[in-house]
Chain A
Amino acid sequence: MNNIKKVSTNFNEIVRQQLILKFNDEVPYVKQAIMQAYDELLIGVVTDRKSKTNPLFYKDEFEERLNNFIYVKDRNDDITISIPDMDTFDFSGRLRVLKNIMEGATGIYVEISALDFEQIFNKQPVNIDPIDEYVPKKDTIYIIRYNSKVRQAESNILDKKLVRYPFSNSPPIDILQAGQDYVDNNIDLWLTKAIKTSEDILIQNRGGIYRPWAMK
């Protein structure tokens, strides 16, 4: 009876180790799926080269945050693979603009500098956050609604056309879903493989003491 219990415990441990290995092996592919969606769905959309909200400018930082995300969590009694989503991904700081884009926005907006804003409204944009707060103040850009007042100011005050926010009136673009889809499409296969490999290891070890170096 003790031997059966021992084999069962060993098997559970082997499966656990195999799942951790498998999940960790797959994480780069999850990231790859998300970055591919980033290129196709976000960068490919922007055609105005003057736009400061072009996702191309935020790609490196996004990838870095993606790399910092903890995908595989081993809590002894269970193993989870988590994929970043709109709630769990870190969109703080410069990446807030990406959250704006990915959540979608109704209405037409334009990108406006702090200087132009002051010229139109005769005050500083105190209640609005800039796209990027880590640049010198003269370079800060805000997204504001393109209403009749702004439209008139383009010709009457600024004498130039403001850059249109390229994701105006755009529905949500959830590129993180690409990672979730990759996992959903493959998870059954990963589980089957992990269990099959675990069975092989157990047979190799004849149900005896678990030897991690025997795992191939």
Chain B
Amino acid sequence: MGYEMSSLRKEDISLYLYLKDIVLNKFTEIEEYSLLELMTDLCGMDSYVYELNTSLIPSPKERGRGWRYFDPPAEINNCNYYTSVSGLNGDGGVAYGTPEQSTMVIVYETSSSGTLDIIPPSEYMIDYIDCRIVSERKLNSPYVTYTWNYISVVDEWAAVEASEPPVIVIDIQGTDKSGYQLGGGKQTKRKVDIHIFASNPAERNDIVERLYDGLFNKSCVMYNFPTGSILDYDGTFYGRRTSITPENKLSYLFDREEVNKVGRLLFDTVVARHVNLPLVMTRGVDEIMLSDLNAYRSKISFDMFYYDDRIIN
């Protein structure tokens, strides 16, 4: 019997993807023609690894950021933000979902005449987390134009310090399950806190308002993740690295299969408030060398619940 994720894990990842890919999709930045540097330590016989060289602060390479792996979501169509297409999932099974981006990361190579030529996406893989390009051949002075996530989204408090603000932490805490008054099935309720760490009050207010509006009177899909999440452990789009049929490697999809007999994740009692720490307010004091993440904080609390009609074995 194969391993299947628990419901809590599916909810956690579904919420994470909803917030990162849909609610916060306007908080993206574009950098054009940035230099790619060859990382000789990571190169193998037939693979050349190039890493983004950028001086941007916050850095796109920081934890919880990375390059965008989907093209921008379309206008809302029956609550489906991404239009699904038929194809194969990362394991080669029939799927209905979203393909890897085609416009968010564009890689160029310097030609012999000095112009920049676009390299076809079939010639390289992208590590979206660490902002790297993996090619089978050596590239001549490569550059990249990319769209990256400005807000770092992480799922544990300990990871906040790993990135410069803005950072948001998704924290699912309490669980409460109760049966229906009649028949089988149950309602599952989770208490969720989102902690927001910004670099100034304006940025904090923008993020809080956007998140609040993305949760108030809203819901999101609970995905089944039959092949895991969107990215593989090495940051590549799942299925790209292990593709058996290379000519088909760009058609692999993130499988948007939903959990059967489970309703959407509904958000309720959404409350937002700013957090002001009375004692650790050391920002602006010249003794402090790093930005203080605690200076501009906010917290959004809400209940996330869904109706579950599955039979428990």
A47 contacts B by Cβ under 8 Å: no
The distance in angstroms between the C-alpha atoms of A91 and B275, with both chains bound, is 13
Digit string of B55-89 for contact with A (CB within 8 Å is 1, else 0)? 00000000000000000000000000000000000
Digit string of A130-174 for contact with B (CB within 8 Å is 1, else 0)? 010000000000111101111000000000000000000111100
A100-B288 in contact given A105-B294, A107-B294 (Cβ < 8 Å): no
Chain B neighbourhood of A86, CB < 8 A: 273
Q: Which A residue's beta carbon lies closest to that of B289?
A: A147
In the complex, the answer to whether B277 meets A106 with C-beta atoms within 8 Å is: no
In the complex, the answer to whether B157 meets A99 with C-beta atoms within 8 Å is: no
A84 contacts B by Cβ under 8 Å: no
Digit string of A79-93 for contact with B (CB within 8 Å is 1, else 0)? 000000011000100
The distance in angstroms between the C-alpha atoms of A147 and B289, with both chains bound, is 7
Q: By the criterion of a CB under 8 Å from any partner CB, how many residues of chain B are at the interface?
A: 27
B287 contacts A by Cβ under 8 Å: yes
A106-B287 in contact given A128-B282, A169-B157 (Cβ < 8 Å): no
In the complex, the answer to whether B285 meets A127 with C-beta atoms within 8 Å is: yes
- Interface residues in B279-313 (C-beta closer than 8 Å to A): 279-282, 284-285, 287-290, 292-294, 297, 299
B160 contacts A by Cβ under 8 Å: yes
In the complex, the answer to whether B197 meets A106 with C-beta atoms within 8 Å is: yes
Q: Which B residue's beta carbon lies closest to that of A104?
A: B157
The distance in angstroms between the C-alpha atoms of A87 and B275, with both chains bound, is 10
B232 contacts A by Cβ under 8 Å: no
A194 contacts B by Cβ under 8 Å: no
Q: Out of B161, B281, B299, which one reaches A106, CB within 8 Å?
A: B161
In the complex, the answer to whether B287 meets A105 with C-beta atoms within 8 Å is: no
The distance in angstroms between the C-alpha atoms of A159 and B297, with both chains bound, is 35
A127 to chain B, nearest CB (A): 5
Q: Out of B277, B282, B297, B299, which one reaches A145, CB within 8 Å?
A: B282
Interface centre among A103, A106, A120, A148 (most CB of B within 10 A): A106
Q: Which B residue's beta carbon lies closest to that of A121?
A: B287
In the complex, the answer to whether A129 meets B279 with C-beta atoms within 8 Å is: yes
Digit string of A179-209 for contact with B (CB within 8 Å is 1, else 0)? 0000000000000000000000000000000
B130 contacts A by Cβ under 8 Å: no
A106-B160 in contact given A87-B273, A171-B171 (Cβ < 8 Å): yes
In the complex, the answer to whether B280 meets A105 with C-beta atoms within 8 Å is: yes
The total of interchain contacts (Cβ-Cβ below 8 angstroms) comes to: 73
Q: Out of B161, B195, B273, B281, which one reaches A128, CB within 8 Å?
A: B281
B109 contacts A by Cβ under 8 Å: no
Interface centre among A105, A120, A147 (most CB of B within 10 A): A105
The distance in angstroms between the C-alpha atoms of A143 and B197, with both chains bound, is 20
Q: Out of B157, B197, B288, B294, which one reaches A147, CB within 8 Å?
A: B288
A1 to chain B, nearest CB (A): 37
- Interface residues in A99-120 (C-beta closer than 8 Å to B): 99-100, 103-107, 109, 120
Digit string of B158-197 for contact with A (CB within 8 Å is 1, else 0)? 1011000000000100000000000000000000010101
A91 to chain B, nearest CB (A): 7
In the complex, the answer to whether B289 meets A143 with C-beta atoms within 8 Å is: no
In the complex, the answer to whether A127 meets B284 with C-beta atoms within 8 Å is: yes
B120 contacts A by Cβ under 8 Å: no
Chain B neighbourhood of A87, CB < 8 A: 273
| Interface pairs (10), CB distance under 8 Å | A100-B278, A103-B297, A105-B277, A107-B161, A128-B279, A145-B287, A145-B292, A147-B288, A170-B157, A171-B157
Known A103-B275, A127-B282; 13 more pairs at CB < 8 Å: A96-B279, A99-B277, A103-B277, A106-B160, A106-B294, A107-B293, A107-B294, A120-B287, A127-B284, A144-B282, A145-B292, A149-B289, A171-B171
> Interface of B with A (CB < 8 Å)?
157-158, 160-161, 171, 193, 195, 197, 273, 275, 277-282, 284-285, 287-290, 292-294, 297, 299
Ranked 4 nearest A-B pairs via Cβ? A96-B278, A171-B157, A106-B293, A106-B160
